[in-house]
Amino acid sequence: MSRALFIIDVQNDFTEGGALGVAGGDAVAAGITAYLRAHPERYDVVFASRDWHDGPDENGASDNGGHFALDAAPDFVDTWPVHCVAGTVGAQYDPALDVELIDVHIRKGQGVPAYSIFEGTTEEGDHFPLVLDKLGVSDVDVVGIATDYCVRASALDALASGRYVRVIDDLIAGVAPGSSVAALREVADAGADIEASTGKDLA
């Protein structure tokens, strides 16, 4: 049994100035780095996910299974502006996140819509749930972006997999206040703990 940290999508396109930047994203990146440096022995393994969407195909465009709105305005529910295309600056980690603190890098999307880290693979192509099982991960803390989308989906999938889940609520940032509050309520109702990084079990 081991404890893991999931760092969800702390990428340039999701922090300030990015294609889908959220307020507070840069602060989350810096906060995660500070938190891990302050607690170097807390986690047996640190995972970080990134959206890693396909770039233009031979016809000049790829909508990544309908995820990118190319021919109409995005609805910001199922379709989105182009973001986090593999190999671009937007897909890179926010510079305030120290990548040396990450043990395993997970890519998700890659031609299809994907929100949860559980839909991703390692850079070697191993499916994420199998990696978790192989490492015996039983307890999960979740941080990152965005609270109301990929953080929510990843936490719910971790709960559905039978693991203990905690969301560290001062190390996340959401698209909108209302939907972020609703997402945390949904995750808590599903069985997760919501705690600050300064809480009694984390400080």
**Burial classification of residue 185, based on how many CB atoms lie within 10 Å of its CB (0-12 exposed, 13-18 middle, 19 or more buried):** exposed
What's this model's pTM, rounded to 2 decimal places? Answer: 0.91
Nearest CA among 81, 123, 75, 118 for reference residue 102:
123
Q: Is 84 a catalytic residue?
A: no
Q: Report the pLDDT value the prediction gives residue 67, as an integer from 0 to 100.
A: 62
> Each residue's pLDDT tens digit in the chain (203 positions)?
799 999 999 999 999 998 888 999 999 999 999 999 999 999 999 999 998 877 766 554 576 665 665 667 766 667 666 778 888 998 999 999 999 999 999 999 776 778 899 999 998 999 999 999 999 999 999 999 999 999 999 999 999 999 999 999 999 999 999 999 999 999 999 999 999 998 777 76
Q: Is 108 a catalytic residue?
A: yes
**Helix orientation angle between 177-189 and 152-160, rounded to the nearest 10 degrees:** 10
> Which position among 9, 13, 148, 157 bears the catalytic label?
9
> Which position among 51, 150, 157, 169 bears the catalytic label?
150
Q: Is 98 a catalytic residue?
A: no
The letter for the amino acid at 30 is A
The letter for the amino acid at 151 is V
> Which position among 13, 84, 108, 141 bears the catalytic label?
108
For the chain, domain boundaries = 7-55+64-137+146-195
**Burial classification of residue 41, based on how many CB atoms lie within 10 Å of its CB (0-12 exposed, 13-18 middle, 19 or more buried):** exposed
Q: Which CATH number fits domain 7-55+64-137+146-195: 3.10.580.10, 3.40.50.970, 2.60.120.10, 3.40.50.850?
A: 3.40.50.850
